[in-house]
Chains A and B, each alone.
Chain A
């Protein structure tokens, strides 16, 4: 399940389709689970007539959560040390997102919480048009 240092090489990538044809219902499901009921995400009437958007759009944190699925499936359960992202474009209903992690480096950990090696990953999530919706980085413990 976990990654091993010797299996990793700089430039290696791992990709996954993390949502196919995002539904408004999944956005509402995320609102309910996270507690963020901002009507720009959940209320078509408000989003279009009051806020001036073409339709509702996904919470940035839903995109980060979807991308996190690719990330934890790649590095293994409970292995993440850091996960950070920038939201670079909005995600709309109907979008299909592909999340990719690229190995930037494999380093020794700090010797305390980070016993053993650590992989540093660059993250990018793109929509069906190839537009990047999220970029970020992560660090995770790997086996020696």
Chain B
């Protein structure tokens, strides 16, 4: 079980809404938002996914002073480029793992207890859920694993419950999620 704190800020909500192409002024205009049913700025429904910003060990964010596995002078900063490595094992291993970093995202479910608002300080508690396997036609063996995250406010009340399902594949697939 892992725990982290997520301070919700209006500017972050605005940037997130822009990124998902949502022009609804309730995500950025306080004067407009006051006249709506929620009565103030709220976050778009998938916003809690941005809690990744606040997870200290999140591996899909470059960290200061640490090598990053994306490209720089070579196609990957932490692997020998494919073909250059003596036995190419790392590169092959990485290619086989689907998205090359943590597998692919298969499902995501949110249950909303209330809207997320600027000023909320959410505590995230993450625990593993079920794991199961399936045989895919093109991707080989598929291993699914579930993660459940609870977002609670400073009074301990549940705000959002999230359930994500990730999948790891044996082979790179282009059209099957």
**Are B172 and A19 closer than 8 Å at their CB atoms?**
no
User: Which parts of A40-72 form the interface with B (CB within 8 Å)?
Assistant: 40, 42-43, 45-46, 49-54, 59-62, 64-66, 68-69, 71-72
A46: chain B residues at CB < 8 Å are: 69-71, 75-76, 100
A133 to B109, CA, bound (A): 16
Tell me the interface secondary structure of chain B in the complex: loop
| Contacts between the two chains (Cβ within 8 Å), count | 184
B22 interface hit (Cβ, 8 Å): yes
**Are A84 and B110 closer than 8 Å at their CB atoms?**
yes
The answer, among B71, B81, B105, for a CB contact under 8 Å with A61, is B105
B175: chain A residues at CB < 8 Å are: 89-90, 131
A52 to B79, CA, bound (A): 14
B94 interface hit (Cβ, 8 Å): yes
**Are B44 and A90 closer than 8 Å at their CB atoms?**
no
The answer, among B53, B54, B69, B82, for a CB contact under 8 Å with A49, is B82
Known: A60-B177, A77-B26, A85-B108. A69 touches B20 (CB 8 A): yes
**Are A83 and B49 closer than 8 Å at their CB atoms?**
no
**Are B21 and A19 closer than 8 Å at their CB atoms?**
yes
The answer, among B21, B37, B95, for a CB contact under 8 Å with A18, is B21
Which residue of B has the minimal Cβ distance to A20?
B21
Which residue of B has the minimal Cβ distance to A68?
B45
**Are B174 and A53 closer than 8 Å at their CB atoms?**
yes
Distance (whole angstroms) from the CB of B170 to the closest CB of chain A: 13
B140: chain A residues at CB < 8 Å are: none
**Are B60 and A49 closer than 8 Å at their CB atoms?**
no
Q: A residues within 8 Å of B by Cβ? A: 1-2, 18-19, 26, 29-30, 32-40, 42-43, 45-46, 49-54, 59-62, 64-66, 68-69, 71-73, 76-90, 113, 131, 133
Q: B residues within 8 Å of A by Cβ? A: 12, 15-16, 18-22, 24, 26, 36-38, 42, 44-46, 49-54, 58, 60-62, 69-71, 75-76, 79, 81-82, 91, 94-95, 99-102, 104-113, 115, 163, 172, 174-177
